[in-house]
Amino acid sequence: MQIPLPTEEQALPGREDSVKITNSHFILNNPIIPNLDENIECADFALGCFWGAERKFWENAKVYSTAVGYMGGITPNASYEEVCSGLTGHTETVRVFFNPKELNYKDLLKIFWESHDPTQGMRQGNDVGTQYRSAIFTHSDSQNNLAKESLSLYNSELNSKGYPEITTEIREAPEFFYAEDYHQQYLAKNPNGYCGIGGTGISCPI
């Protein structure tokens, strides 16, 4: 499904101040706005509603911490309601903090690809809108190359099973704007909360 992204003239203005959040992961107890030292790296993935998407990553025992926010658009420090309007250009994103000596970026890519259907354009299942589009925002040449390699491999695998082309965007990471506090680790705080995330059932051969 194709829905146009807003132009700079159409985008909401946003605000200078960022949201105030609790700097502790509800499950892992590690900071979600860490001062990154040489042992911790960052990865950003958009794969539909970030409530269920974030859980997919924190369930990996080797993940240091996770957070949710908005990326890829125009509006600075947008609110959830503004993002859902389609007038910010952002997509709901999970930020993953990990130690590459303990967890390979390829393992995160495998979680990403297998946790959603990356062929749907501006939607994920019944969730429709630009904020649900699939994207990988990379922080190094290595991440970029591995992301593109994994896309090619998974695209071939999905094509062989009758799926159309992958629509996932891969680009250098723009600014990450943290989502409101109640969104952070939402499904841990609300175990019966909505989760629309779901994969194709096809393994990614990375």
Residues noted as catalytic: 49
Cβ atoms 78, 12 nearer than 8 A: yes
3-state secondary structure of 97: strand
3-state secondary structure of 162: coil
Q: What is the maximum alpha-carbon separation in the chain?
A: 47
Question: What are 52-55's contacts with CB under 8 Å, separation 24+?
Answer: 52/187, 52/194, 52/195, 52/196, 52/197, 53/92, 53/94, 53/115, 53/116, 53/197, 54/94, 54/184, 54/185, 54/186, 54/187, 55/185, 55/187, 55/188, 55/195
User: Token pair of 108, please?
Assistant: 């995160």
What sign does the dihedral 78-80-85-90 (CA atoms) show?
positive
